[in-house]
Chain A
């Protein structure tokens, strides 16, 4: 279907960001080469253009970074909370000042639309630092005992879907509570973390408090296994999360995991259809569906299935896919060739297993990694596409008749991260929300985030919460003697 509206290109300027041809590791306040001199390239997923060459941290670099963080911990943890707070406020302010630059950078490196980096990622990144800055001198009021103490060195491994936001979720509470950090950004999106290193420099953050080690999975594994790391925080796949849980078994390392999801978005027959359609689109096509809490399973009450699907298809036909830097773009590029292959394989499996596939007419750019918004109907609970996390713009549609059936189907998953409920009936919202085994439940809305709100999963979606007062717990030692190390 041809779009009713033709839009002239409205590209955001790239000139606001100055990407160097190469970057080092950020250890003890300095950019440095990897000990073994290894480098890798970060490319723009929308064009396959090489953006920069980045040092790749090995085990030796991990050791150096952990030592720097250990050394910095002594002074950083001893600082009055009010001083730590001011550093975090400074960082928050600098992020706001540089937010346009960072938004463009993030769009280039990740492939997501500028609309999203500008209006969602960056404001949230700054807000997280502001929120946790305020906690730094109020920890004794946070409800985690009378003498809240940091754990020490935090080893943090983050994914590529929200590079800077995940960094903020990890670093802001860690620093507020007096820990120092060694963070490994994902291999496909290391650049914004390295820009963040520069922000730490501008803010005058003491050396060694934040260390950034770009690298692949083996870098992360070395960091997680390092014996002088006291806390491990990971966001990523459930398979890797389990591996990490095994690695830290029998140690005293505190662990929090934010893993996969297969969120159920439940639409009841009395739901406001137009709002629900918007929520479904936000739920699964935001960030090309590369969201752990995406509403990737649509559960529609049988009586409104036809009407809802008609509306949804109509809406999907208006989504604009293309240049992520264009301000009118809704759907950007898939982050990597590897991820595109995974999405492609899973959708092919969906067809092979008998589900019905639909996509709006959609022209894909000739270079870069692209995947058209995709809808599967006739999906049953046994289908792979109803069980496995696809992490792409692919929605599986199932139906139900009664609220009980909706709850049973929604909970029929190894995951328990998010869910959505659409109905005009308040008592039904509360009853269903109560029964869903998921860490975040959005009713009559979807994919909303806020630094004050704890986020995290049930079941195999991981443990621990990020954000809000709860997010501090992951970085504090328990108050009782149980926590003595």
Chain B
């Protein structure tokens, strides 16, 4: 018989993160989250970790409202400001690294060392994207040499509210890798956490709340992926969807629903989240706006205006 600890630990009630607040699911439902006993995720019943909120359609709709409300200010913030906030997220995570290493180890059935490597990589990813906020426009936008007396400039702009189906297996590094590029470019996000391993995602909400990130920019939901994702894919006020964590059958279903208001869709694809990403996860959720103006080329035969 094991010895009883001198002190009884305090459990944490994991909650959703919506609009900068921590609601329980409006449905009042929870589901059991257990450890994964192998990295492959082949776990049967592992050790009980916590009861996570089982978010409902209503929670999903609330998250869309929050994300839409946050979109104006967040997309309108300077890129410099957004970069600092993303870097601040990295700072906050660094300070709570131990917690995340434990949660990721339990969630994914990893050794402490391997989980630590994942968390380090996730922190570094925030730093990487923090540096992109004020550079992406220069890389993918610019002036166009029009054959005529016009000045014209193409600028990337965020698509809007993006639903992110977080990867199922990589509960934290994968999650950060798909969320950070979405908000780095000025979009706001509704994240559907890994169904089996939602706790690192829900804890990330606590970090975001203390990172100067305005409420609503990232909203984290946990529960049954298909149940939450389906109304989000069909929602008329969602502009894009990243299907990273959807299986083939669900992905196709969601893509069909997304066609209804021509959401931008990023299909699931094999990704090694330990590799430095390219810019495609950012450009997938950017629009290009081209603004024209006459130059009034003086003395030339063109426009005199």
Q: Are A245 and B259 in contact, with the CB atoms below 8 A?
A: yes
Chain B residue at minimal CB-CB distance from A460:
B262
- Residues from chain B with a CB closer than 8 A to the CB of A414 are 261
| Residue B287 interfacial (CB < 8 Å) | yes
Interface flag for B211 (CB, 8 Å) = no
Q: Which of A145, A245, A249, A438 has the most CB of B within 10 A?
A: A249
Whether the pair B150, A482 counts as a contact (CB closer than 8 A) is no
B147 at the interface (CB under 8 A from A): yes
A275-B294 Cα distance, complex, nearest whole Å: 12
* Chain B residues whose C-beta falls within 8 Å of the C-beta of A145 in the assembled complex: 278
Q: Is A481 an interface residue, CB under 8 A from the partner?
A: yes
Assembled-state Cα–Cα distance A453/B256 (Å): 31
A246 to B280, CA, bound (A): 23
Instruction: Provide the residues of chain B in CB contact with A459, threshold 8 Å.
Output: 239, 261-262
CB of A344, distance to nearest CB on chain B (Å): 28
User: How far is B146's CA from A482's CA once the two chains are assembled, in angstroms?
Assistant: 34
Residues in A neighbouring B288, C-beta threshold 8 A: 439, 454, 456, 465, 470
Could you say which residues of chain A place their CB within 8 Å of the CB of B278?
A: 145, 478-480, 482
Establish whether residues B292 and A468, one from each chain, have CB atoms under 8 Å apart when the complex forms.
no
B149 to A, closest residue via Cβ: A445
The verdict on A195 contacting chain B, using a C-beta distance below 8 Å, is: no
- Are the CB atoms of B262 and A241 closer together than 8 Å? yes
Contact B260 A242 (CB under 8 A): yes
Residues of B within 8 A of A245 (CB): 255, 258-259, 262
Given A242-B260, A450-B146, A453-B154, are A249 and B255 also a contact pair (CB < 8 Å)?
yes
Task: Report if B28 contacts A (CB, 8 A).
Answer: no
A452 adjacent to B144 (CB under 8 Å):
yes
Q: Which residues of B contact A143 (CB under 8 A)?
A: 139-140
Q: Are B144 and A259 in contact (CB under 8 A)?
A: no
Would you call B154 and A454 a contact (CB within 8 A)? yes
User: Closest residue of chain B to A254, judged by CB?
Assistant: B267
Q: Does B291 count as interface, using CB distance less than 8 angstroms?
A: yes
Instruction: Say yes or no: is B305 at the interface (Cβ < 8 Å to chain A).
Output: yes
Alpha-carbon distance between A272 and B296 when the two chains are bound, in angstroms:
14
Cα–Cα, bound, A364→B107 (Å):
74
Query: Which of A250, A257, A453, A483 makes the CB contact (< 8 A) with B290?
Result: A453
Partner of B144, one of A249, A444, A468: A468
B72-86: contact bitstring with A at CB < 8 Å (1 yes, 0 no)? 000000000000000
Separation in Å of the B237 CB from the closest CB of chain A? 11
452-476 of chain A: CB within 8 A of chain B: 452-456, 458-460, 462-463, 465, 468, 470, 473
Q: CA separation between A249 and B248, bound complex, in Å? A: 11
The answer to whether A433 and B291 have CB atoms under 8 Å apart is yes
A441 near B292: Cβ-Cβ < 8 Å: yes
* B262 and A463 form a contact (CB under 8 A): yes
Query: Does A482 contact B291, Cβ atoms closer than 8 Å?
Result: no
| CB nearest neighbor in A for B249 | A250
Taking a contact as CB atoms under 8 Å apart, the answer to whether B290 and A440 are in contact is yes
B272 at the interface (CB under 8 A from A): yes
Q: Which of B140, B144, B262, B293 contacts A445 (CB 8 A)?
A: B293
CB-contact partner of B287 in A238, A241, A250, A458, under 8 A:
A458
Number of A interface residues at 8 Å Cβ cutoff, please give it. Answer: 51
Q: Is B36 an interface position by the 8 A CB rule? A: no
**Minimum Cβ distance to chain B for residue A431 (Å):** 11
Q: In residues 236-258 of chain B, which contact A (Cβ within 8 Å)?
A: 239, 248, 251-252, 255-256, 258
- Residues 132-146 of B, flagged 1 when their CB comes within 8 A of A and 0 if not, give 000000011000111
Say if the beta carbon of A216 comes within 8 Å of chain B: no
**B270 close to A481 (CB less than 8 A):** yes
Q: Could you tell me the distance in whole angstroms from the C-beta of B171 to the nearest C-beta in chain A?
A: 20
Which residues of A lie under 8 Å from residue B252 when comparing CB positions?
Answer: 249-250
CA distance A190 to B233 in the complex (A): 37
Tell me if A399 is interfacial: C-beta within 8 Å of chain B.
no
* B262–A450 CB distance below 8 A: no
Q: Within 8 Å of chain B (Cβ to Cβ): is A40? A: no
B224 to chain A, nearest CB (A): 21
Pairwise interchain contact B251-A482, C-beta atoms closer than 8 A:
no
- Tell me which residues across on chain A come within 8 A of B159, comparing CB atoms: 458
- Taken residue by residue from 412 to 454, chain A's Cβ proximity to chain B (1 for < 8 Å, 0 otherwise) reads as 0010000000000000010001001011111111001010111
Q: How far is the CB of A257 from chain B (nearest CB, A)?
A: 7
B260 to A, closest residue via Cβ: A242
Q: How far is the CB of B87 from chain A (nearest CB, A)?
A: 24
Nearest-CB distance from A331 to chain B (Å)?
Answer: 24
A127 at the interface (CB under 8 A from B): yes
Minimum C-beta distance from B295 to chain A (A): 10
**Interface: B51 (CB within 8 A):** no
**A250 in contact with B292 (CB, 8 Å):** no
**Given the complex of chains A and B, what is the CA–CA distance between A443 and B153 in angstroms?**
12
Chain B residues whose C-beta falls within 8 Å of the C-beta of A481 in the assembled complex: 270-272
Given contacts A450-B144, A482-B270, contact A246 B259 (CB under 8 A): yes
Identify 30 residue pairs between A and B in the complex whose beta-carbon atoms are under 8 Å apart, listed by A's number. Answer: A241-B262, A242-B262, A243-B259, A250-B251, A250-B256, A257-B262, A429-B293, A433-B289, A436-B289, A440-B289, A441-B289, A444-B293, A444-B305, A445-B150, A448-B146, A448-B148, A450-B144, A452-B144, A452-B145, A453-B292, A454-B154, A456-B288, A458-B159, A460-B262, A462-B262, A463-B262, A478-B280, A479-B280, A480-B277, A480-B278
| Chain A residues engaging chain B, CB cutoff 8 angstroms | 127, 143, 145, 238, 241-243, 245-246, 249-250, 252, 257, 259, 272, 275, 414, 429, 433, 436, 438-445, 448, 450, 452-456, 458-460, 462-463, 465, 468, 470, 473, 478-484
Supply 10 further A-B pairs (C-beta < 8 A) apart from A250-B251, A470-B288: A245-B262, A249-B256, A249-B259, A275-B305, A442-B291, A445-B293, A454-B144, A459-B239, A481-B270, A481-B271
Q: Mark B residues whose CB is within 8 Å of A.
A: 139-140, 144-148, 150, 152, 154, 159, 239, 248, 251-252, 255-256, 258-262, 264, 267, 269-272, 277-278, 280, 283, 287-294, 305
Closest 10 CB pairs of A and B: A250-B252, A245-B259, A249-B255, A452-B144, A450-B146, A482-B269, A480-B278, A453-B144, A249-B256, A441-B291
